[in-house]
Copies of this chain bind each other. A is one copy, B any other.
Amino acid sequence: MPDLPLETPVLIGRKRDGEELSGDDLRRLVEGYMSGAVAEEQMSALLMAGVIRGFSDAEAVALTDALVASGDTVDLSRLRGPTVDKHSTGGVGDTTTLVVAPILAAAGLQLAKLSGRGLGHTGGTLDKLESIPGFRVALTPDEMRAQVERIGLAVAAATAELVPADKRLYALRDVTGTVPSRALIAASVMSKKIAGGASHVLLDVKTGDGAFMARREDASALAELCVRIGTARGRRTAALVTDMSQPLGDGIGNAIEVAVAVEVLRGERPGRLDELCRELAAAALVLTGTAAAVDAPAFVDELLGSGRALERFRRFVVAQGGDPAVADRPWEVLPRAPEIVEWRPGPGTVTAVRCRELGELAASLGAGRRRKEDDVDPAVGLEVLARVGDHVSPDVPVARVHARTRADAERALARLPTLVDIGEGQVAPVPLVLERVGLSGVPDLG
A residues sitting closer than 8 Å to B (CB atoms) are 5, 8-13, 15-16, 39-49, 51-53, 172, 174-178, 180
Contact check, A47 vs B45: say whether CB atoms are below 8 A apart: yes
Dominant SS at the A interface?
helix
A47: chain B residues at CB < 8 Å are 45
A44: chain B residues at CB < 8 Å are 41-42, 44-45, 48
The minimal Cβ–Cβ distance linking A53 to chain B, given in whole angstroms, is: 7
The minimal Cβ–Cβ distance linking A442 to chain B, given in whole angstroms, is: 37
A12: chain B residues at CB < 8 Å are 48, 176-177
Residue of B nearest to A40 (CB): B41
CA–CA, A27 and B208, complex, Å: 36
CA–CA, A411 and B16, complex, Å: 37
Other-chain contact of A52, B9, B52, B176 (Cβ < 8 Å): B52
Other-chain contact of A176, B45, B53, B180 (Cβ < 8 Å): B45
CA–CA, A51 and B46, complex, Å: 12
Contact check, B9 vs A174: say whether CB atoms are below 8 A apart: yes
A41: chain B residues at CB < 8 Å are 39-41, 43-44, 172, 175-176
Residue from A43, A45, A53 having most chain B Cβ neighbours under 10 A: A45
A9: chain B residues at CB < 8 Å are 174-177
CA–CA, A44 and B39, complex, Å: 11
Other-chain contact of A16, B39, B46, B48, B172 (Cβ < 8 Å): B48
A178: chain B residues at CB < 8 Å are 16, 45
The minimal Cβ–Cβ distance linking A108 to chain B, given in whole angstroms, is: 46
A176: chain B residues at CB < 8 Å are 9, 12, 41-42, 45
